[in-house]
């Protein structure tokens, strides 16, 4: 209510035909802007900024931990490739005699 009265005072004291009076309105608006800026910084932007900084620190620490075990990942890849090659060669060795063998007449009738 007091702010409304302060807004109305400069317009009442002004000359007729004058659109905007900078006498008292500008300092009032500037002080309200600065007060709002301080209040929002303390209540909204401060906690949000802190939460964002904490999240950023957590992500960076997790990325650093993942980057450190790249040699272990490379060892696992080499081991898995060796295992897969061994399995493929084992399957080929076991199925090759079956592929080369001619089926008996009884086997052709059942298949």
| 43-72 pLDDT tens trace | 999 999 999 999 999 999 988 877 667 777
* Domain co-membership, 89 together with 105: yes
Per-residue pLDDT at 2 exceeds 90: no
Write down how long the chain is.
111
Q: Are 108 and 83 members of one domain?
A: yes
pLDDT in tens, 25-49: 888 889 999 999 999 999 999 999 9
Query: What's the predicted TM-score (pTM) here?
Result: 0.40
In terms of domains, do 80 and 44 share one?
Answer: no
SS3 sequence, the chain? CHHHHHHHHHHHHCCCCCCCCCCCHHHHHHHHHHHHHHHHHHHHHHHHHHHHHHHHHHHHHHHHHHHHCHHHHHHHHHHHHHHHHHHHHHHHHHHHHHHHCCCCHHHHHHC
2 or 25, which is more confident: 25
Residues 45 and 81 in one domain: no
Structure tokens of 32? 């309200």
| Total tally of structural domains belonging to the chain | 2
Domain identity same for 8 and 56: yes
Residues 50 and 90 in one domain: no
State which residues form the domain around 51.
1-68
- pLDDT value of residue 36: 97
How far is CA 3 from each of CA 23, 26, 84, 89, 104, rounded to the nearest angstrom?
15, 13, 79, 87, 105
Distance (Å, whole) CA 10 – CA 103: 109
């Amino acid at each position: 209510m007091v702010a409304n009265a302060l807004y109305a005072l400069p317009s009442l004291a002004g000359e007729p035909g004058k659109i905007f009076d900078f006498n008292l309105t500008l300092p009032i608006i500037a002080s309200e802007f600065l007060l709002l800026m301080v209040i929002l910084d303390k209540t909204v932007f401060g906690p949000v900024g802190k939460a964002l900084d904490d999240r950023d620190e957590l992500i960076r620490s997790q990325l650093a931990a993942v980057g450190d075990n790249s040699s272990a990942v490379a060892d696992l890849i080499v081991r898995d490739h060796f295992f897969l090659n061994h399995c493929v060669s084992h399957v080929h060795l076991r199925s090759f005699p079956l592929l080369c063998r001619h089926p008996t007449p009884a086997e052709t009738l059942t298949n």
